[in-house]
Chains A and B, each alone.
Chain A
Amino acid sequence: MPPVQPGDGARRSVRYLAFLLVAMRTLTAAGIEGRVVEDHTGNPLASVEVRIAKAGQRTLAAQLETDSSGQFRAQGLTEGEYQIDATKSNFIGVTLRVAGLPGPLTLRLVRCGVITGQVMDAQGQPMLGVMVYAMPKPVSGPLMPYAAPVPGTYMRVNERGEYRLHSLPPGEYAVAAAYGASTAMFGSSGGADVRPAIGSGVQIYPTLQRPRFFTVAGGEAYRNVDFAIVPTALHNVSGKVVLPDPKTRYWLALTTAEQPGLATAVTGTSADGSFRFEGIADGSYTLTASGPITGYGGKGMLGAPVHFGRMPISVAADISDLTVPVQKGSSVAFLLRAPAGAQGAGGCPSAAQVALTALEDFATRIDRTGAINAVKEQPVADLAPTKYQVGATGLGEGCYLASSTVLDLASGGHDAVVPVLVAPAGSIRGRLTGGADPRAFSIVLVAADAEAATNPLQVVNPDSSGKFGFGGLRPGRYRIAAQSAGAAGARWVTDAAHMLEIQIVAGAPTEMELPAPGKPQ
């Protein structure tokens, strides 16, 4: 089952929101009170920020925190409709909309997951400089790290070789360790210490062929996810990049087809274009070159005019005579497209930004953005010979990318205009079946697409006939389940096996029937 992925850096405190639509009732008391608990244990949560906003008001009616027993109480409120937000770092938050409550509320916050372990060498000594990544389980294709990783979802091991991945929202994750002249090492220091017999590489836990996926449904803590980097037959790969004038430094990366998102090894050229990779294991690789390099900060920074090279190589012995030609980056035109009638007020904008995310690690900054509109195609230049995931930003609220497009420039340029398809939000119209009292259940919807992190978890209560609905959904994959609404131990989010996967399309409702569980889970 696909995971929910963390969002961008602006959401690094994991302030994900869930929406709980509570049946409209009359506000009779001059206050709102409740209790916030941890979803998977039911334990009270202290220091949860609770924000209470009255409909139609620009400022909050109250802003407070839960006490040590998880309780909160806002007094002096006048009648009306309110929205209540409850958030806490390292938890998925919740939002309620209420219009009067007969009694205290109970809100459930889902704790993020943790994976810890060590990276050691064959002698049991800690491997320094290794970067460890949580990699979400893909629907198809190879494992990829996050394009915009959130702190906690990757980290460099400490001096004891230990790592601790945290802030992992519900989902499934593989764990990868990049060692030697990795992009993280080379990109942060401009060099790397490649140990003899260890070399450079990327290891997936426990093996690349059969990665283990760690399921996070709330509060899981996986320990002893340990790596052992063992010696293997290693080779040197050297050659020369045919540098254009003026001759400056270029960076090169080796990637594999199985693991294109994390380079096996990175190196730089001398002023004459010569380069040398050390400690490369047998295998087939893609060798990439990019430059000129003007600096580094996580990855190499590229100056103008940008040139790239790309060639396949097979390593079974030392290679010393490679010649790597480079050519200018390519340019591709993009056009913003929306269904008829979708553009305009409340729908999709007529101008936005295209965001191109490389699906291969060149160890340099090759992701690109560019302004696009619905009238005339707009070029984006300096593209590398690789595959790019086409995304869009600046679409405003209620408009989303309607399809997942991969632009393949690995074997050359792309003359045709690439449409960037956007569409209004999707929705769900559903009915709970098989339950004696539908109101005894909550319908939980978990988004599975990375970009959906704005609202990854939504909860509604069906009416007496079992009908329920979700609106404003970003198109993509979701997991949905009916959970018991009243039981104290009833979790909102369970493991993937107990939830149904569905696909939400843009601009149209998805009709569905959801069977009620036999007993609360």
Chain B
Amino acid sequence: MELFDNLALGFGVAFTFQNLIYCFVGCLLGTLIGVLPGIGPVATIAMLLPATYALPPVAALIMLAGIYYGAQYGGSTTAILVNLPGESSSVVTVIDGYQMARKGRAGPALAAAGLGSFFAGCVGTLILAAFAPPLTEVAFKFGPAEYFSLMVLGLIGAVVLASGSLLKAVAMIVLGLLMGLVGTDVNSGVARFSFDIPELTDGIGFVTIAMGVFGYGEIIANLSRPDDEREVFTAKVEGLFPTRDDFKRMIPAVLRGTALGSALGILPGGGALLAAFAAYTVEKKTKLKPGEVPFGQGNIRGVAAPEAANNAGAQTSFIPLLTLGIPPNAVMALMVGAMTIHNIQPGPQVMTSNPELFWGLIASMWIGNAMLIILNLPLIGIWIKLLTVPYRWLYPSIVLFCAVGVYSTNNNTFDVWMVGAFGLIGYIFYKLGTEPAPLLLGFILGPMMEENLRRALLLSRGDWSVFVTRPLSAGLLAAAALLLIIVLLPAVKNKREEAFVEE
């Protein structure tokens, strides 16, 4: 079996002392920021990118990936104990998890979340290992026209499946695409929109945008809200292990959540958040067994299913990135940046040109999941302590890490001015109710889209019909159009708004 050979290679890479350490550091940091509300994986990965310059690429990617899936574990702890989502993807875990904690069943809730996440993480990793090679085969058949259409599909999918206003999200994507074009045009050598500032001819750094908008912008927005009442269950979490009845209810929920999460993670725009929402909705639709607590009052299924789903989704959202080189969400967009920094062109060739990176990353995810369950269940007490750290100590530290991070990307204070400007822009976005995540996706895809559009039209001598006459490209565009039509249908439109109303 080729798969096993590949996995053996991967484990060989992941089990080196150095990579184990970086995997652990990533998971630890991920749990940390997952537990702390007000800082997410996007800002953290952006902050740590400069620190990975000196590392070998495999170690850097293993650590950054660990932050993303680690955050899914940590987020549930805060959701259950504080009634606040530590991470956006644990928004729905709050509903039943906190009720369980109030009834003195915080232990089983944490265990359900942890075990569900672990199971889902393992399955997600296996799916990633099994599906990535055939998908890369398909990707090699892609020409520039197909890539352009695929990116259109990816971007449309990203907004359709996200929350909030559709039009504004599309506008944010276009804005992101435009911002991605700032800098020297590779074909003509013309410096576009750089206002004769030498630093801008290299383009705007995506680390700068991510930290400004997601780091500073969020901090300003958080500080502008009145302090919310936090009721932390710092009292001893007792009886960690769920009862036999709990297990009976949990297991099918975890299985459903895993299946749903794995499927939704692959879709463009999918990932952890959407998966958690969908899984909770499905659980709510199923019939309650006699003697079961209703949803919203502490049903263990309401914790297990979304937590399994968000972890599975986090894992499988690596598939489009690793096989096609197309990031399906903002975190993956940052991973593209990380790969480019280390001179790895994301795309189908990664698997053949850097097999130790590809399989090492996948194997490290499995190891990381095992580390996380140990970090999160027996050591839960440490994380509970962390929750008592006040925000007024936290945010100056975040500001500092952002400032140090952007400075060290180029050792140039110009980036520090830019991140300040993007902080202001991020706050304006917040006030105007526009989601910044699509902007980052567009920003990463902007230059790639222009390049592929240019090549496709050059090959067809300026004939735009090439996008619909090539069957693969036409299929991708049709899928994008279909997605848009479905979401604009009045019936679906209302449902979509309803589904995100709990946010």
Say whether A and B bind each other: no
Q: Which residues in A have some Cβ–Cβ distance to B below 8 Å?
A: none
